[in-house]
């Protein structure tokens, strides 16, 4: 199967996620372009296999049983970024940090917020990633991709239907291959300084030296997840090797855990916060794959 493509059989997903958790993906493909993705989808459909798309795996909890079927990772083989006047066009596997750096190099402002988000353009669009008052919706002109049937599709900004940490891509099965961003002329040095300042603030507040998927929960109405978790005395709270970071209570980290531990911790934290404050925390991270079969 998939003979014409770069694929890894039984790929351990802990090597492909920033949380460093998760069982094997049956087949992990690393395509180079839209044609390869279409070919992979065709073969998977013919074999009756489910298809999952991932980017850098920085917002994912993959369960211990791993992912059945074909997992398409849009990453290192699709990282081209091109400038066209005030616009940047990027392949979906380009890292947001590289996109922000390319914007700074070109003297284009608007992507400074994205410089420290450790995901790809495709993942950033799917999640409408954002930070420090910026988010992908503000700079995205449109995107290209493939439907679950493998047909080419173009989506403009309205069709991408961005919301808070979501977009029309979430759950649609559409695979983004390319996106275009509209930026404002700026001054390279000032743009770079702003990015450095935001990255300093990030490093000061976030446990960047520990495996995580960033903020585990979305910001609830009327509060901040980290403040609510802290208020409930849960900093440092553990389930097995999964722990609420002592540096930033919004980050749940892996200190030698299983995905099971991590899910238990997410559930217990959400229950405790709801009991204490009446506010229900919803996960921001995407949970995919299968639980390990009971032995």
Ligand X SMILES: Cc1cc2nc3c(=O)[nH]c(=O)nc-3n(C[C@H](O)[C@H](O)[C@H](O)COP(=O)(O)OP(=O)(O)OC[C@H]3O[C@@H](n4cnc5c(N)ncnc54)[C@H](O)[C@@H]3O)c2cc1C
Is residue 165 part of the annotated active site? The answer reads yes
One of 34, 55, 110, 283 touching ligand X (CB under 6 A): 55
| Residue 234 makes contact with ligand X by CB under 6 A | no
| Residue 51 makes contact with ligand X by CB under 6 A | no
Helix pair 96-105, 188-205: axis angle to 10 deg = 150
Nearest to 214 by CA among 84, 66, 96, 77: 96
| Nearer to ligand X among residue 273 and residue 285 (C-beta) | 285
| Residue 58 makes contact with ligand X by CB under 6 A | yes
| Residue 70 makes contact with ligand X by CB under 6 A | no
| Residue 127 makes contact with ligand X by CB under 6 A | yes
One of 115, 119, 134, 283 touching ligand X (CB under 6 A): 119
Shortest Å distance, C-beta 174 to ligand X:
6
Shortest Å distance, C-beta 30 to ligand X:
12
Write down the H helix ranges in 113-258. Answer: 121-127, 157-160, 188-205, 225-231
One of 22, 115, 123, 289 touching ligand X (CB under 6 A): 123
Of 167, 215, 245, 259, the active-site residue reads 215
Please give the residues from 181 up to 200 whose contact with ligand X meets the rule CB under 6 A. none
| Residue 29 makes contact with ligand X by CB under 6 A | no
Give rounded-to-5 percent helix, strand, coil for the chain: 30, 30, 40
Of 81-89, 127-135, 183-191, 232-240, the window that binds ligand X (rule: CB under 6 A) is: 127-135
Element (H, E) at 91: strand 87-91
Size of the site for ligand X (CB under 6 A): 32
**If you write DSSP's letter for every residue of 16-75 in order, what string do you get?**
SSTT----EEEEEE--SSHHHHHHHHHHHHHTT--EEEESS-SSEEE-TTBEEEEEEE-S
CA 248 – CA 102 distance, rounded (Å):
30
Whole-angstrom CA distances from 201 to 8, 130, 197, 206 are: 38, 15, 6, 8
- Which pair of tokens denotes residue 12? 């351990």
- Which pair of tokens denotes residue 101? 């750096």
Please give the positions annotated as active site.
165, 215, 284
Query: Residues in the site for ligand X, rule: CB under 6 A?
Result: 18, 53-60, 74, 92, 117-120, 122-124, 126-127, 129-131, 169, 175-176, 206, 208, 212-214, 286
């Amino acid at each position: 199967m998939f003979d014409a493509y770069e694929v890894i059989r039984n790929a351990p997903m802990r090597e492909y996620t920033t949380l460093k958790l998760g069982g094997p993906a049956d087949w992990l493909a690393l395509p180079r372009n839209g044609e390869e993705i279409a070919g992979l989808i065709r073969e998977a459909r013919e074999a009756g296999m489910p298809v999952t798309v991932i980017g850098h795996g920085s917002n994912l909890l993959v369960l211990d049983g791993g992912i059945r079927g074909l997992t398409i990772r849009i990453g290192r083989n699709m990282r081209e970024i091109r400038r066209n006047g005030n616009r940047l066009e990027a392949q979906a596997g380009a890292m947001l940090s590289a996109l922000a750096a390319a914007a700074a190099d070109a003297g284009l402002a608007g992507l400074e917020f994205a410089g420290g988000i450790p995901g790809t353009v495709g993942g950033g669009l799917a999640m409408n990633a954002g930070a420090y008052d910026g988010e992908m919706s503000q700079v995205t002109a449109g995107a290209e991709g493939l439907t679950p049937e493998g047909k080419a599709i173009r989506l403009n900004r309205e069709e991408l239907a961005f919301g808070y940490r979501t977009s029309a891509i979430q759950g649609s099965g559409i695979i983004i291959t390319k996106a275009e961003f509209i930026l404002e002329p700026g001054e390279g040095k000032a743009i770079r300084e702003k990015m450095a300042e935001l990255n300093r603030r990030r490093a000061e507040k976030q446990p960047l030296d520990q495996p995580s998927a960033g903020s585990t929960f979305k910001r609830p109405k009327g509060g901040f997840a980290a403040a609510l978790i802290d208020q409930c005395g849960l900093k440092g709270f553990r389930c097995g090797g999964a722990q609420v970071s002592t540096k930033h209570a919004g980050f749940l980290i892996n200190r030698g855990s299983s995905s099971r531990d991590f899910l238990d911790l997410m559930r217990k934290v959400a229950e405790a916060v709801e009991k204490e404050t009446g506010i229900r925390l919803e996960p921001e991270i995407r949970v995919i794959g299968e639980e390990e079969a009971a032995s």
